[in-house]
Amino acid sequence: MRIEASAAFTSSRPLFPLFIFLFFIPGFHSRNLQQCSSSCGDLTNISSPFRLQGDPAGCGDVDFQLSCQNNTAILNFRGGKYYVKGISYDKRTVRVVDVNLAHGTCGLPYKSLSMSEATEDGRFPSLITFWQANFVNCSNTIPELRDSKVPCLSGDTSHVYVNFSNRNLFGYEIPRSCKVISRIPTSWENELNYPYNETTLKLLATGFDLRWSVECRNCHTSGLFCVYKSNNDPRIFQCETVFEEDYKTLLPAFIAYLVSRSLIDMALLVRLILAPLVVFVFLLHKCLTTRKTVGNAEHVGDIQMLPEPVPCSPQGHTSNLPSDSPKQVLIAASIERSA
């Protein structure tokens, strides 16, 4: 037995170094990911999950890849281009600014982006600030908006204004001769709706903060839902299916909805179809009963109008016969012949 065990151990010895190598490689690889760092201009610590285009394959995540152009890091996000002003790995946020607004010059954003559109990306599930600039183009001059007019975009037949709000503008809030041509998230200071001047340009140039999350990216990739696990900073996200937490509550509610819906449908069926049918049958029965009663009354009247039988006397003579009745005439003629 010892010889067999010793032989087995001896035969497995060549595999032991391979086992050690495979066991420690994942940890070594993960440490390499954490230590991998790049820089671009003022952004000196680009590390996992972010990476620069051209970094080794083990550095960061390709879904969080940045490019370095003119010594400035750029994020391609939902069709737009944004300069990356800073990354916070503690709070899991990234500060970005539209490339057309980054230098404080007058103009439209490179790509229209509303707050709701910004949070539809699985990599960046939420914003830190909840204000946006709405650029509105009008065919006529709007006197009430003259302070917010964008001079570099306006002309004789086109008048562009900027409005700051915490949501998309409703249709009734936009003059009939105007339409929204672009949007961009911005910092909360624009709540004051400053006139379109150097102050506004500087505020637009500060950009806005996006919250990034690898967990949410993985959720969207798997077709699941990304929810807050913790509302504290940094906010932690986790994946959930639709009924992972609340299916025991939602299922009875769904069944109750189906039952109530069925009862409502039955009530409508009774009210709209069965009730008129019952009324029709009742009226038909009443009509037929009334006609039968009238017919019976007429038949009884006919019977009452028939002549009553004439009673005979004990001597065989009729009583109360009219004087001109045929029988009386025959009797009188018989008496005359016998006389």
Range of the domain at 206: 35-238
Domain count, the chain: 1
What is the distance, to the nearest Å, from the Cα of residue 293 to the centroid of all Cα atoms in its chain?
65
Q: Considering the domain boundaries, does residue 319 fall inside one?
A: no
Edge to edge, what strands does the sheet with 208-211 contain? 51-52, 65-69, 72-77, 80-88, 93-98, 208-211, 126-127
Report the pLDDT averaged over residues 117-131: 88
Distance CA 119, CA 210 (A): 9
Q: Considering the domain boundaries, does residue 87 fall inside one?
A: yes
Identify which has the larger pLDDT, 30 or 79. 79
Q: Which of 74-78, 126-130, 218-222 has the largest mean confidence?
A: 74-78
Per-residue H/E/C for 129-183: CCEEEEEEEECCCCHHHHHHECHHHCCCCCEEEEEEECCCCCHHHCCCCEEEEEE
Report the pLDDT averaged over residues 66-89: 95
Distance CA 23, CA 45 (A): 30
- The pLDDT value recorded for residue 199 is 84
What is the signed CA dihedral for 16, 19, 23, 26, rounded to 10 degrees?
A: 130
Q: Considering the domain boundaries, does residue 194 fall inside one?
A: yes
Q: Considering the domain boundaries, does residue 107 fall inside one?
A: yes
Asked whether 129 and 186 are in contact (CB, 8 A), the reply is yes
Q: Which helix (H) or strand (E) holds 195?
A: none
Q: Which of 219-223, 250-254, 332-336 is least confident? A: 332-336
243 DSSP 8-state letter: T
Report the pLDDT averaged over residues 198-212: 91
Instruction: State the chain's mean pLDDT as an integer.
Output: 76
CB neighbourhood size of 72 (10 A): 17
Q: Considering the domain boundaries, does residue 65 fall inside one?
A: yes
| Pairing between β-strand 65-69 and β-strand 51-52 as defined by DSSP bridges | parallel
Q: Considering the domain boundaries, does residue 126 fall inside one?
A: yes
List b or e across 77-113, with b for residues whose CB sees 16 or more CB atoms inside 10 angstroms: beebbbbbbebeeeebbbbbbbbbbbeeeebbbbbbb
Cis (ω within 30 of 0) for the bond into 234?
yes
Decide: residue 290, CB within 10 A, 0-12 exposed, 13-18 middle, 19+ buried. Answer: exposed
Decide: residue 316, CB within 10 A, 0-12 exposed, 13-18 middle, 19+ buried. Answer: exposed
Model confidence band, residue 30 (pLDDT cutoffs 50, 70, 90): very low
Q: Considering the domain boundaries, does residue 131 fall inside one?
A: yes
Per residue in 237-273, pLDDT (tens digit) is 777 775 544 545 555 666 776 777 777 777 776 667 7
Q: Which helix (H) or strand (E) holds 221?
A: helix 214-221
Amino acid sitting at position 195: P
Report the pLDDT averaged over residues 76-94: 94
Distance CA 310, CA 320 (A): 8
Q: Considering the domain boundaries, does residue 287 fall inside one?
A: no
- The pLDDT value recorded for residue 290 is 77
Asked whether 67 and 52 are in contact (CB, 8 A), the reply is yes
Q: How far apart are the first and last CA of the chain?
A: 169
Q: Which helix (H) or strand (E) holds 86?
A: strand 80-88
